[in-house]
Amino acid sequence: MAKYAVLSDIHSNFDALEAVLEKCRAIGVDHYLFLGDLVGYNADVKRCVAKAKELNFVAAVRGNHDDFAIRKDDIPNGFNTNAAIAIGWTRNMLSDEDREFIGNMPYKRTVPGIPVTLVHATLDSPETWGYVFDTHHAVGNFSYQLSQICFCGHSHVPVAFDKAPFASGRKLVEVIDQWEHSAAFPPADEDFTIADELEVKLAKGHKYLFNIGSIGQPRNGDTRASFAVYDKEAETVTRYRVPYDIASAQAKVREAGLPERLALRLEWGR
């Protein structure tokens, strides 16, 4: 019972979530972890919430869209117009039971039995919804990270960092380059193609921070749903990219009367 699927930023995209879960079943996932933003942006709110309840997360944290969606009257500060419209629409779709389910998710938490911490944004002040984009932000996060691994989401752009022990003699915090390769920012190699999966072998004494990207609204130029699997026995973290029926998800956004840009960006991957 060693494989933990790490899901993030589903954003009411049931088509993408189902494709991810099919992949999880195929590779023999045992448990599920969740990094927040179950709702927002897309139209399959009820189905995504129901599926999340079925998955019986070992641990789950709340995202900023979740946080505002369960409030009945607060205006979402810092949200662009389209995101705010989607939050207003989502609020009307949630039952009191749904709000309670989401509201029981904390802003950060450690996972029982494995060296993993979950947070949607940053560990220092998770409820202020900051971002980790580069090594400067990663260094700040590592200073609050007590576990070997921290998984985060929020930006919808995959990025990963490796913090070496002082005795290693190398630069303390480095980007794991392959993790963030995307259609938007590919390496110079003309023959490069985006792999369906990328495995990172965890080294003793190192700490790791992984932003796993988004299932429901990728923003790195790769339209496929992105998630990760932590294998406790193999001591690896593997990021997977899974295609899904984008046209179906777009049709639901349009049928719900949500902003057209929310439908279009699914095919743009940004």
Amino acid of residue 136: H
Cα(194)–Cα(12) distance, integer angstroms? 25
Average pLDDT over residues 195-212: 93
Delimit the domains of the chain by residue range.
Answer: 3-268
Residue 192 pLDDT level (bands cut at 50, 70, 90): very low
Strand 207-211 versus strand 225-231 pairing type: unpaired
Give 125-190 as a 3 state SS string: CHHHCCCCCCHHHHHHHHCCCCCCEEEECCCCCCEEEEECCHHHCCCCEEECHHHHCCCCCCCCCC
- What tokens appear for 95 in the block? 């039952």
Please check whether residue 44 is in contact with residue 252, taking contact to mean a CB–CB distance below 8 angstroms: yes
Does the pLDDT of residue 161 top 70, yes or no?
Answer: yes
Q: In this predicted structure, which of 69-78, 80-89, 108-117 has the lowest mean pLDDT?
A: 69-78
CATH classification of 3-268 is 3.90.640.10, yes or no? no
Q: Is this model's pTM higher than 0.75 or not? A: yes
Q: What whole-number distance in Å separates Cα of residue 120 and Cα of residue 132? A: 10
